[in-house]
Amino acid sequence: MKKNFLRFFFGFIVRTLTRLRVYGLENFPVTGGAILCVNHLSIIDPVIVYINLNRNDLTALVAHKHRQNPFLRFMVNLVGGIWLNREEADATAIRAAVKYVNGGGILGIAPEGTRSRTSTMIAGKPGVAYLADKVNAPLIPVALTGTENALSSLRRLRRATVTMTVGQPFRLPPVERLTRDSDLQRNTDEIMCRLAAILPPEYRGVYADHPRLQELLAESH
């Protein structure tokens, strides 16, 4: 009940203060575990994802530093978020994430590891690829645009256009022990290029000229 109210409350605020456009909801599974891979442009990104994907088992990996903010700590705990210490190999958080996804839950992660300061994609970290290799579940790219302008537009009494696009689920090849580092890099590039493929060109950042992205774009035409 609290989660339903939370989704309604923030949904009303977001739809009142922005021009929200959502695409690809048919790609979002109604049951079963999955990892959502979301590009990160603004502090409001998790809110945009949460209000539009209607599953009460949707939660996220959240940087431990946000526990210092009482409001954010309350909200993250309310939705069952998993706190992650990004300064070290947080085995406890990874085990919790694997258990959650394998148990059928939906877990959102920003594979870039932090918010982009350039409003374009920055290099992905291997953490999501590592986690994906431990779970029996698909990955789903979720691309956001316009969130980087939402708060500044509001201060100017304007409504920013915000879009969320859900891409098709995909799976990654296994990571082999003898080629672990190169396999993790390959899978990280795959995740990021899948995200870039559903973003407008001006948001693709460091992946704009990646060969795998060019393959995906060619396949989609």
Residue 13: inside a domain: no
Domain CATH number, residue 210: 3.40.1010.10
Find out whether 117 and 99 touch, Cβ atoms under 8 Å. Answer: no
Residue 5: inside a domain: no
Residue 153: inside a domain: yes
Q: What mean pLDDT is predicted for residues 17-29?
A: 96
Per-residue pLDDT tens digits for 139-156: 999 999 999 999 889 888
Residue 6: inside a domain: no
Q: End-to-end distance of the chain based on CA atoms, in angstroms? A: 43
Residue 203: inside a domain: yes
- Residue 89 or 5, more confident: 5
Q: How many helical (H) and strand (E) elements, i.e. helices and strands, does the chain have?
A: 8, 7
The Cα-based distances of 37 to 29, 125, 168 in angstroms read 14, 12, 11
Per-residue pLDDT tens digits for 100-139: 999 999 999 999 999 999 999 999 999 999 999 999 999 9
Residue 15: inside a domain: no
> Which residues make Cβ contacts (< 8 Å) with residue 105, sequence separation at least 6?
33, 57, 58, 59
How far apart, in whole angstroms, are the C-alpha atoms of residue 101 and residue 28? 15
Domain count, the chain: 1
How far apart, in whole angstroms, are the C-alpha atoms of residue 71 and residue 6? 13
Q: Which domain holds residue 196?
A: 22-219
**pLDDT value at 86 more than 80:** no
- 68 confidence band (pLDDT: 50, 70, 90): confident
The full 3-state SS of 78-146, as one line of letters, equals HCCCEEECCCCCCHHHHHHHHHHHHCCCEEEECCCCCCCCCCCCCCCCCHHHHHHCCCCCCEEEEEEEC
Residue 8: inside a domain: no
How many of the other CB atoms lie within 10 Å of CB of 80? 15
**pLDDT value at 89 more than 80:** no
Residue 14: inside a domain: no
In the block, which residue shows the tokens 């209607």? 54
pTM over the 0.85 mark:
yes
- 157 confidence band (pLDDT: 50, 70, 90): confident
- Residue 89 or 180, more confident: 180
Share of the chain above pLDDT 70, in %: 100
**pLDDT value at 1 more than 70:** no
